[in-house]
């Protein structure tokens, strides 16, 4: 018997990779790529935060600067770029003795590794979003938020898709992908501005936040369907119906699973005494759900999101969120910087005649993105005197959710360079415009005794809640700003 023959333990994939590229050079290239990624994400995020914008937008712009649009530090072969355009490859040739004839293989392997890390980053991002999305809150936001969310998905999706196909002659699948990107809403950006304005507890604020949460769920389902279509390159109505049913059933199944799985997960985690006793089982579950989604021809991110929804219902939610956070801090920036690095904004340069169509597409998408969300406020009914314009404006920012759509679209190969760049421009502009527009459409809040809303920790439920000023008993040491009990430092 030859059970111990070394040949039986060979791994063809690894062997092929080693033959094609020097593994030590690949590792060196990946390490340099991560240095560039983390520097770009940190510098961009800090500068963005400094001017009051979401750090994720800075990560994206940092990626644009180090990528194909500016410095060519982080480039990828998908856009037709070769190793001669990569400054990292040139640096390795100068400092590490990388042979010119071996450079293309090292470049290809390095690009593949970074792309896989970026894919892991978006899976963990959606898992984290699921952990932060309370199912009870999703079901309790009311009919108004549901109507706003549905209109906010249907109107921009239909207008964007039909407009791109009829006005620009874009194919069905890329047009659908771009239309899907228009459906996103960033709850993080809107909630931050509403909090600053003291409007979180207003009727408008409740509807905006509730609709944004529902929007995220609907958007992820749409993304799963569209990304699956992009793999085949054609639109099959029967397959669309199958995917919609599958995606919806997957989410509903996750909700039902949560009621059964919660106690079992906690019991297993309590019995594990070694390091990673909570977070490792959680990732096993998340990756298994992501794999299951892929098996039934959905996107892996839908499985990760569903896993987050399930585990959000457990007693270990707060501790799990804390443990997932540093892992997300390591991997999620790779995704956003990679999206920016792959975006060639040069295709929108109006000085080049061939680029003008892409610039016009970007203008069209930006108009649809703004009007398609503003109109949602006017779908609110039965609430006289409500600020419908403010509700619509609050739904405008695409933020990190829009970037997820753009990144998945670029990775699938469904988007052309001009269309991909146009989507990125739409995400950037709507994210920049939303905060000042919200401040404009909301007048200065008039609160009882001049105080603002207060964010406090509900000791019974362990969740942060908004306390209206009129319900508070004034005290000599009362403060108008954010109050958090000591326990809230866990969140």
For position 325, what pLDDT does the model report? 92
- Flag whether pLDDT at 437 surpasses 60: yes
pLDDT band at 60 (very low <50, low <70, confident <90, very high): confident
Host H or E run for residue 455: strand 454-458
The region of weakest confidence among 44-58, 368-382, 455-469 is 455-469
Higher pLDDT, 436 or 46: 46
Query: pLDDT tens for residues 319-341?
Result: 999 999 999 999 999 988 998 89
pLDDT at residue 115 in the model: 92
pLDDT of residue 233: 63
Question: pLDDT-based confidence at 130, cuts 50/70/90?
Answer: confident
Q: What percent of the chain has pLDDT over 70?
A: 80
Tokens 């959000």 correspond to what residue? 312
Q: Are 405 and 22 contacting, i.e. CB atoms less than 8 angstroms apart?
A: no
Residue 67 — left, alpha, or beta (φ > 0 → left; ψ -120 to 50 → alpha)? beta
Whether residue 390 contacts residue 204, with contact meaning beta carbons closer than 8 Å, is answered with: yes
- Spell 400-436 as b/e; 16+ CB within 10 A means b: bbbbbbbbbbbbbebbebbbbbbbbbbbbbbbebbbe
Any idea which of 116-120, 148-152, 417-421 has the lowest mean pLDDT? 417-421
Give the chain's mean pLDDT: 79
> Using one digit for the tens of pLDDT, what is the confidence trace for 258-286?
777 878 888 888 899 899 999 999 999 99
For residue 435, name the pLDDT band (cuts at 50, 70, 90).
Answer: confident
Q: Rounded to whole angstroms, how far apart are CA atoms 349 and 356?
A: 7
pLDDT digits (tens, 9 = 90+) for 401-432: 777 787 787 777 788 888 888 888 898 888 77
User: What span, in angstroms and rounded, lies between the C-alpha atoms of 64 and 56?
Assistant: 13
DSSP letter (8 states) at residue 55: H
**Band (372; pLDDT cuts 50, 70, 90):** very high
Q: Is 420 left (phi over 0), alpha (psi -120 to 50) or beta?
A: alpha
Distance (Å, whole) CA 413 – CA 233: 10
Write down the pTM of the prediction.
0.71
User: In terms of pLDDT, which residue wins out, 395 or 232?
Assistant: 395
Chain CA centroid to CA 312, Å: 18
**DSSP-assigned states of every residue in 432-444:** HHHHHHHHHHSPP
Asked if the model's pLDDT at residue 90 lies above 70, the reply is: yes
- For the cut 70, the answer to whether the pLDDT of residue 188 exceeds it is no
Does the pLDDT value for residue 131 go beyond 80? yes
More confident residue, 146 or 17: 146
Q: Tell whether the model's pLDDT for residue 466 goes beyond 50.
A: no
Arithmetic mean of pLDDT, 106-115: 94
pLDDT at 143: 82
Would you state the pLDDT for residue 135? 65
Higher-confidence position of 208 and 28: 28
- pLDDT, residue 240, reads 75
Instruction: Give 464 or 358, the one with higher predicted confidence.
Output: 358
Give me the mean pLDDT over the 161-185 stretch.
90
CB hemisphere CA count around 429 (13 angstroms): 16
Tokens of 20: 């094609």
pLDDT band at 211 (very low <50, low <70, confident <90, very high): confident
Between 32-41, 314-323, 410-419, the lowest mean confidence (pLDDT) is in 410-419
Quick check: 16 pLDDT over 50?
Answer: no
């Amino acid at each position: 018997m030859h059970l111990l023959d070394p040949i039986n333990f060979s791994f063809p994939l690894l062997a092929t990779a080693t033959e094609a590229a020097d593994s030590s050079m690949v590792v060196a290239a990946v390490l340099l790529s991560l240095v560039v990624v983390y520097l770009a994400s940190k510098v961009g995020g800090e500068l963005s935060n400094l001017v009051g914008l979401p750090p994720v937008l800075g990560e994206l712009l940092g990626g644009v600067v180090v990528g194909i649009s500016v410095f060519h530090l982080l480039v990828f072969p998908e856009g037709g770029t070769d190793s001669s355009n990569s400054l990292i490859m040139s640096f390795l040739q100068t400092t590490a003795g990388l042979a010119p004839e071996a450079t293309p293989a090292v470049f290809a392997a390095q690009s593949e590794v970074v792309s896989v890390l970026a894919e892991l980053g978006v899976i963990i991002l959606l898992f984290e979003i699921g952990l932060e999305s309370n199912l009870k809150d999703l079901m309790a936001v009311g009919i108004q938020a549901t109507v706003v969310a549905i209109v906010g998905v249907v109107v921009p999706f239909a207008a964007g898709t039909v407009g791109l196909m009829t006005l620009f002659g874009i194919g069905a699948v890329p047009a659908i992908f771009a239309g899907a990107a228009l459906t996103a809403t960033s709850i993080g950006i809107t909630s931050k501005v509403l909090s600053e304005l003291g409007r979180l507890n207003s009727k408008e604020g409740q509807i905006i936040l509730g609709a944004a949460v529902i929007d995220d769920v609907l958007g992820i389902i749409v993304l799963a369907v569209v990304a699956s279509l992009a793999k085949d390159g054609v639109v099959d109505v029967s397959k669309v119906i199958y995917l919609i049913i599958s995606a919806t059933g997957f989410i509903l199944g996750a909700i039902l699973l949560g009621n059964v799985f919660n106690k079992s997960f906690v019991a297993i985690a309590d019995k594990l005494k070694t390091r990673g006793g909570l977070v490792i089982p959680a990732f096993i579950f998340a990756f298994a759900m992501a794999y299951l989604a892929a098996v039934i021809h959905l996107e892996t991110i839908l499985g990760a999101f569903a896993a987050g929804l399930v585990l959000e219902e457990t007693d270990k939610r707060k501790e799990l969120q804390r443990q997932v956070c540093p892992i997300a801090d390591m991997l999620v920036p790779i995704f956003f910087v990679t999206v920016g690095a792959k975006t060639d904004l040069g295709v929108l340069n109006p000085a080049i005649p061939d680029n003008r169509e892409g610039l016009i597409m970007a203008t069209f998408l930006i108009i649809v993105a703004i009007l398609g969300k503003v109109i949602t406020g006017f779908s609110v009914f039965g609430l006289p005197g409500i600020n419908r314009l403010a509700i619509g404006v609050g739904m405008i920012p695409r933020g990190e959710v829009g970037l997820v759509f753009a990144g998945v679209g670029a990775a699938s190969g469904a988007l052309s360079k001009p269309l991909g760049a146009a989507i990125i421009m739409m995400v950037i502009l709507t994210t920049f415009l939303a905060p000042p527009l919200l401040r404009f459409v909301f007048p200065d809040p008039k609160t009882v005794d001049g105080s603002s809303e207060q964010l406090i920790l509900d000791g019974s439920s362990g969740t942060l809640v908004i306390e209206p000023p009129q319900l508070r008993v004034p005290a000599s040491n009362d403060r108008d700003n954010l109050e958090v009990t000591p326990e809230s430092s866990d969140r």
